[in-house]
Structure 1
């Protein structure tokens, strides 16, 4: 349970180092976009890469070459999805969500919050973490495509400015 063999430890050291170098190399070649957190697909790729690396490290039944190929395949598929998303609005609409307005001019938009499964307490926590103590100080709170809650502080003078481009209103 605590120790199997020196060979197993040696395998983890060698395979782990080589798999890590391969992963870093693949990520550097693929560019910054691969590990962004812009949408759910990006999160899936990041988690899958971590899971694949762990499997290569700890499973004797997965060869290093298979693990490197699996990581390269994940990065390639991420590249294909993002490439198609940039070039095809229809494909982009199919695979990506839109930001959702969940508070406007200090008022909770209960329908939008319910559809996104966000509670008032979560919104208030996001306001507090951004130094806002009163919801009336906020022009808008948006649930972004990556699941983060963003806020736009506002004043009465700014109420008429179009600051919520590309945000779906309920």
Structure 2
């Protein structure tokens, strides 16, 4: 049945790098696509929800090892915390990271 818990460190580091790159890429694409994509969701809430669900599915289907899955989950949550903190501490970062409401009428 192959490796369930751990295969090698190269795969873990590859998953970690791909998680960071994918998270940032998805965030940029969601911000470009506009507010209708998110409806009432904050961009971070949407990305984290989708990413965590996707990783969980991969873990449950044994397409990645448990260790790789845990590393990815921890990185997603860590990135969520980092961006939320940057947004809270800097008005400039808050404007970049969060959409501001607009009056349509």
TM value normalised by structure 2: 0.59
Is there any run of 5+ residues in structure 1 with no aligned partner, and where?
1-6, 12-36, 103-108, 110-170
Is there any run of 5+ residues in structure 2 with no aligned partner, and where?
5-39
Aligned residues between the structures: 68
Partner Cα distance (2:66, 2:74) in 1:
12
> In the TM superposition, what are the counterparts of 1:21-36 in structure 2 within 5 Å?
none
Select which of 42, 53, 57 maps to 2:56. Answer: 53
Partner Cα distance (2:101, 2:52) in 1:
26
Partner Cα distance (2:89, 2:41) in 1:
17
Larger Rg: 1
Residue 89 of structure 1, CA deviation: 0.4
Higher normalized strand content (fraction of residues): 1
Which structure has more relative contact order (CA 8 Å, sep 6+)? It is 2
Higher normalized helix content (fraction of residues): 2
Shift >3 Å, 4+ stretches: none
> In the TM superposition, what are the counterparts of 1:81-100 in structure 2 within 5 Å?
81-100=83-102
Residue 101 of structure 1, CA deviation: 1.5
Partner Cα distance (1:42, 1:93) in 2:
16
DSSP-derived class of the 1:74 partner:
helix
